[in-house]
Amino acid sequence: MTKETSNRFAFIDNVVSWEGQINTSHIAKKFNLSRQSASHILKQYREQFPQLLRYDLSSKAFVATTEFDQKINGHHFSNYLEAISSNNNSFIEGVDVWALEVEAPLRNINPIQVRPILRAIREKLAIDIGYISLSNPDYLDRIIQPHTLIFDGLRWHVRAYCNKKQAYRDFTLSRFNGHAVFEGKAKNTVNEDEKWNIFVDVVIEADPRLNPQQKRVIEQDFQMTDGQKIMSIRAAFVNYLLRRLHIDSYKNTPEEQQIVLSRESRKNISMYLPIPL
């Protein structure tokens, strides 16, 4: 199967998973094809997976079979939103869409400034580059040994060993500037980054101040089992996850708080936070 065919089959999977059906209009609009070509792609898919789709005359579309529904566990809604977007990030014209994603103002990243950082990661080099922070609003030279880029949902960071602090830190990618100088091979790599290589369980549960009925709503929202949701993540990501879940601070009312860390989880992850919970 070619990469092009694989991408088109993945598109069909995403649309059928969430809408329960697909027709040639979806495919023609997405890939800028004629209706005949789109029909041929659907025919190829059905020949490859004959048990997954059946034609429904009333809706004039191919609908998911029971066999299809049994294999869709693990599909993410974000993948569906991406699938039904065209190349210019707008939703497919002529195809009904009932979901939109709120776009946050992402931090501007200068490709020219990022290039040397990417080279340092790729070639495992130390790099001397200007960086600003809230404590130092003027650009100061920092020698770092980067190993990975991280996106926290709003902005990009680079995970690196900081020669000044003699520790692994996350640097905001949009705050780099100035001429970069390579300082030879990195001596502190991803293998020595303890927080990166340790995985911890972040366990959330409904706020105990909620009544039983409200707790059941929250447990359903977060797909909890036995009143808890367990997420295994790198220790370096703990703070980002708590921010995205809005549990990095305690709210005044249970309706606003909704979820909290379990007591045991709070104890286990406190050492990985800048400020203990």
pLDDT, tens digit, 9 for 90 and up, residues 28-55: 988 989 999 999 999 999 999 999 999 9
Q: Does the pLDDT at position 143 exceed 90?
A: yes
Is the Cβ–Cβ distance between 51 and 45 less than 8 Å? Answer: no
pLDDT band with cut points at 50, 70 and 90 for residue 94: very low
pLDDT of residue 276: 37
What tokens appear for 243 in the block?
């921010």
pLDDT of residue 86: 56
Is the Cβ–Cβ distance between 170 and 238 less than 8 Å? Answer: no
Averaged over 180-188, what is the pLDDT?
Answer: 94
Q: Does the pLDDT at position 184 exceed 80?
A: yes
Question: In a 3-state reduction of DSSP, which class is residue 262?
Answer: coil
Cα Rg, the chain, nearest whole Å: 24
Average predicted confidence (pLDDT) for the chain: 87
Cβ burial 82-114 (10 Å sphere, 16+ → b, else e)? ebbeeeeeeebeebeeeeeeeeeeeeeeeeebb
Alpha-carbon distance of 62 to 75, in angstroms, equals 19
What separation in angstroms does the CA of 149 have from each of 61, 195, 240? 42, 15, 14
Alpha-carbon distance of 191 to 174, in angstroms, equals 26
Digit-coded pLDDT (tens) for 210-237 = 999 999 999 999 999 999 999 999 999 9
pLDDT of residue 187: 95
pLDDT of residue 165: 92
Tell me the pTM.
0.70
